[in-house]
Chain A
């Protein structure tokens, strides 16, 4: 077995830590979760010189080892716990060239833990532009550590960094700062109480302000023996410690780090002035949002049509190629229909994640926080709530996790509670297909009605989120101190590699995460839809044939045959046949027979479906959904959507392909459905809007409920969300349908 060492990447947010990680590991990475908690764990493998392999963990960004959030405490936990299998043999502290001072604070803390540390100074390509020069050699000597100057953008310095990692045994473990100097008596007592433990480690464990995890508290058997320090005294000591570290750092940087102030300003200041301007700032933000929605709707239409067509022909191919039977039906009607219903949305979801990651990477997102903070506060939200609300347009799950940056518990709770109202990517499939069906063609100001409807739905989601926040702000009586600190990082041109990885990773997890549920549900639905126990189901063929012989086709089939004949007639002259030809009438007669046969099969299939297990269940819930303008099939789709919204399209696709003999795209099938009572198309403006509104508001996502439970540590909040949102959705959809029908 070749030797493998553990390497931890740690650093402030916005230092390009993830870029270093991507440079080192390439595609040899995976993203998971730390056991039991929802903090993202990124790890990968990197080959080092001399046959050494490194297992690299990208720890959550942190400004210091004094943790204030769950994400940060994960980093500290790993650094403190020598027994953890991922405990690093060497730590890479990533800094960017401009904020070296601040990053060195973290570096000196890590050195105090006696973990071999390499200082990685990233963004070296910016140095000349910013007028920065660093004496690396002197810095290494002063810090008694190894320093690697890299540029992940240009790919320079990575080889030397790999050399340094492989050579980790030669890195000094001597601390830079003597923390005990801030309170010699106190640390002396601490040392005497636990002679076996490292004092700095003890100090860290004592001062952690972490209520999230049982972080190493058990390391100290009895805290009371040195609980002489009150909480505010501890805080004062932490303050002293920080000052002490900065004294050391300032001393070093004075000799090694030079910056020409005149070169440093300019671009950033100008851009800040425009992007946070009282008019242009908001205008630009609005235009960016508009562009995103136009892109999601307009640009992805073409690839989506291709995918839709592909799955339709794949289903046909399976039916023609494989021997007929239950297994073929399962593949064609259950599995393929279900998978097609999810794969089709890859283009949109990829676009959405692309834009969100561009906004994050460029540094623009934190300007939005700055712009929006005051506006959000009357609603009980913070500027930082904007990030969850925007990333909620991708998925509520990471959005709920993103609320961790909100320091104030009340603001955070309200953000968590209202985030599921924002239009997540799982709603997108439902919206898109219904918009395509019921919203007319047309343009206004270069934007299509369809894109505008989509935009309105997004705005509606935000609007209701904000309104409910206002209500919650009035209802919830929680007192907590307001902190609000956000870094406004320098603007960066997003790195293609980082953006590409994010888009790939998120799309993949959407497809596979949702895909599993959808596949399972599709198979169950297919089974329920193609089996039944009643006599009606078993004798469907005879019953329907007899009825058609006696009463003729139903109105839907009649119009179907009429339309198809008309279409067929139109093609005949092109083929050289005219009304005067005897062959003309013959071929029409022949074609009619074919169509009648098809119509018969369709009527049998839909009769069977109606009397299958699924039909029985569907008709049981029909009274509940009928006032909203839905038939029992949509009712089933809405019901299964409570597992996850995106199941809707897959479910309808499965239902329709079971109840339909002809292979067509999902869109066509839905357009052909007729409301049994009104005899009009089932998906019309009234029922379409009603469905759109229902999906806009209902809490139909088990994963979100689970994550809210985890983040709020109580079932009270997710249960409230489920009941309130779904009831609200039902009422709004009901009103909309009754008004529009």
Chain B
């Protein structure tokens, strides 16, 4: 299984690798959700879904199902500039 945005823990960051399906809405890309960009999990809603991410400086909420389509490499260190 590939690591996706849905696997991030709160406060954890990752770099977007690719989209596992070609179904992501263009709006998400325009908000800065593009391969190579850093994505941070800011907050998880009380019932675990949706999740609240910061990507490219955009603070957005997406559903878990969509997050599972965004593959990434988790970044461990702190000094990533968004």
Question: Once bound together, how far apart are the Cα atoms of A366 and B50, in whole Å?
Answer: 12
Q: How far does the Cβ of B45 sit from chain A's closest Cβ, in whole Å?
A: 6
Q: How far does the Cβ of B10 sit from chain A's closest Cβ, in whole Å?
A: 10
Q: Tell me whether B46 and A281 are in contact (CB under 8 A).
A: yes
Q: Tell me whether A101 and B25 are in contact (CB under 8 A).
A: no
The answer, yes or no, to whether B26 is at the interface (CB within 8 Å) is: yes
The answer, yes or no, to whether A242 is at the interface (CB within 8 Å) is: yes
The answer, yes or no, to whether B1 is at the interface (CB within 8 Å) is: no
Q: Tell me whether A232 and B22 are in contact (CB under 8 A).
A: yes
Q: How far does the Cβ of A492 sit from chain B's closest Cβ, in whole Å?
A: 13
CB-CB under 8 A from A487, the residues of chain B are 31, 58-60
Q: Tell me whether A99 and B57 are in contact (CB under 8 A).
A: yes
Q: With contacts A482-B65, A485-B25, A487-B58 known, is A373 near B50, CB below 8 A?
A: yes
Q: How far does the Cβ of A97 sit from chain B's closest Cβ, in whole Å?
A: 11
CB-CB under 8 A from B32, the residues of chain A are 101-102, 246
Q: Digit string of B39-50 for contact with A (CB within 8 Å is 1, else 0)?
A: 000110111111
Q: With contacts A64-B30, A66-B30, A239-B26 known, is A371 near B60, CB below 8 A?
A: no
Contact with B42, one of A101, A236, A272 (Cβ below 8 angstroms): A272
Number of interface residues of B (CB under 8 A): 33
CB-CB under 8 A from B35, the residues of chain A are 243
Which chain B residue has the least Cβ–Cβ distance from A268?
A: B59
Q: How far does the Cβ of A285 sit from chain B's closest Cβ, in whole Å?
A: 11
The answer, yes or no, to whether A370 is at the interface (CB within 8 Å) is: yes
Q: Digit string of B14-32 for contact with A (CB within 8 Å is 1, else 0)?
A: 0000000011011111111
Interface centre among B34, B60, B61, B65 (most CB of A within 10 A): B61
Contact with A102, one of B49, B50, B57, B81 (Cβ below 8 angstroms): B57
The answer, yes or no, to whether A483 is at the interface (CB within 8 Å) is: yes
- Beta-carbon contacts under 8 Å, A432-452 to B: none
Question: Once bound together, how far apart are the Cα atoms of A370 and B35, in whole Å?
Answer: 25
Which chain A residue has the least Cβ–Cβ distance from B23?
A: A481
Q: With contacts A272-B43, A488-B59 known, is A235 near B26, CB below 8 A?
A: yes
Q: Tell me whether A373 and B49 are in contact (CB under 8 A).
A: yes
Interface centre among B28, B30, B45, B57 (most CB of A within 10 A): B30
Question: Once bound together, how far apart are the Cα atoms of A398 and B78, in whole Å?
Answer: 45
Q: With contacts A66-B30, A276-B43, A374-B45 known, is A383 near B59, CB below 8 A?
A: no
Q: How far does the Cβ of A247 sit from chain B's closest Cβ, in whole Å?
A: 10
Number of interface residues of A (CB under 8 A): 46
The answer, yes or no, to whether A369 is at the interface (CB within 8 Å) is: yes
Interface centre among A246, A481, A482 (most CB of B within 10 A): A246
Question: Once bound together, how far apart are the Cα atoms of A369 and B49, in whole Å?
Answer: 11
Q: Tell me whether A370 and B61 are in contact (CB under 8 A).
A: yes
CB-CB under 8 A from B61, the residues of chain A are 366, 369-370, 373, 383, 484-486, 488
CB-CB under 8 A from A68, the residues of chain B are 25-27
Question: Once bound together, how far apart are the Cα atoms of A243 and B59, in whole Å?
Answer: 19
The answer, yes or no, to whether A596 is at the interface (CB within 8 Å) is: no
Q: Tell me whether A374 and B26 are in contact (CB under 8 A).
A: no
Q: With contacts A66-B30, A488-B61 known, is A276 near B52, CB below 8 A?
A: yes
CB-CB under 8 A from A383, the residues of chain B are 50, 61
Q: Tell me whether B46 and A242 are in contact (CB under 8 A).
A: no
Question: Once bound together, how far apart are the Cα atoms of A242 and B30, in whole Å?
Answer: 7
Contact with B26, one of A242, A261, A482 (Cβ below 8 angstroms): A242
CB-CB under 8 A from A236, the residues of chain B are 22
Question: Once bound together, how far apart are the Cα atoms of A235 and B25, in whole Å?
Answer: 9
Q: Tell me whether A370 and B45 are in contact (CB under 8 A).
A: yes
Q: Tell me whether A485 and B52 are in contact (CB under 8 A).
A: no
Q: Tell me whether A239 and B29 are in contact (CB under 8 A).
A: yes
CB-CB under 8 A from B63, the residues of chain A are 373, 482, 484
Q: Tell me whether B30 and A102 are in contact (CB under 8 A).
A: yes
Q: Digit string of B53-75 for contact with A (CB within 8 Å is 1, else 0)?
A: 00011111111011000000000
The answer, yes or no, to whether A282 is at the interface (CB within 8 Å) is: yes
CB-CB under 8 A from A395, the residues of chain B are none
Which chain B residue has the least Cβ–Cβ distance from A483?
A: B25
Question: Once bound together, how far apart are the Cα atoms of A163 and B50, in whole Å?
Answer: 45
CB-CB under 8 A from B25, the residues of chain A are 68, 407, 483, 485
Q: How far does the Cβ of B60 sit from chain A's closest Cβ, in whole Å?
A: 5
Question: Once bound together, how far apart are the Cα atoms of A276 and B28, in whole Å?
Answer: 22
Q: How far does the Cβ of A142 sit from chain B's closest Cβ, in whole Å?
A: 19
CB-CB under 8 A from A278, the residues of chain B are 46
CB-CB under 8 A from A209, the residues of chain B are 26
Contact with A485, one of B43, B48, B62 (Cβ below 8 angstroms): B62
CB-CB under 8 A from A246, the residues of chain B are 32, 34
Q: Tell me whether A99 and B58 are in contact (CB under 8 A).
A: yes
Contact with A105, one of B30, B42, B47 (Cβ below 8 angstroms): B30
The answer, yes or no, to whether A375 is at the interface (CB within 8 Å) is: yes
The answer, yes or no, to whether A30 is at the interface (CB within 8 Å) is: no
Q: With contacts A276-B43, A374-B50 known, is A485 near B26, CB below 8 A?
A: no
Question: Once bound together, how far apart are the Cα atoms of A482 and B59, in whole Å?
Answer: 20
CB-CB under 8 A from B82, the residues of chain A are 261
The answer, yes or no, to whether A58 is at the interface (CB within 8 Å) is: no
Question: Once bound together, how far apart are the Cα atoms of A366 and B60, in whole Å?
Answer: 10
CB-CB under 8 A from A486, the residues of chain B are 60-61
Q: Tell me whether B45 and A373 are in contact (CB under 8 A).
A: yes
Q: Tell me whether B50 and A63 are in contact (CB under 8 A).
A: no
Contact with A238, one of B26, B43, B48, B65 (Cβ below 8 angstroms): B26
Which chain A residue has the least Cβ–Cβ distance from B36?
A: A243
Q: Tell me whether A242 and B52 are in contact (CB under 8 A).
A: no
The answer, yes or no, to whether A489 is at the interface (CB within 8 Å) is: yes
Give 4 A-B pairs besides A102-B57, A246-B34 with Cβ atoms closer than 8 angstroms: A242-B26, A242-B29, A481-B23, A482-B65
Q: Can you list 17 A-B contacts (CB < 8 A)?
A: A63-B27, A68-B27, A102-B56, A246-B34, A269-B42, A276-B52, A281-B46, A370-B45, A374-B48, A374-B50, A383-B61, A407-B25, A485-B25, A485-B31, A486-B61, A487-B31, A488-B61
Q: Give the A-binding residues of B (Cβ under 8 A).
A: 22-23, 25-32, 34-35, 42-43, 45-50, 52, 56-63, 65-66, 81-82
The 6 closest A-B pairs by CB, nearest first: A278-B46, A374-B47, A488-B59, A484-B63, A64-B30, A370-B61
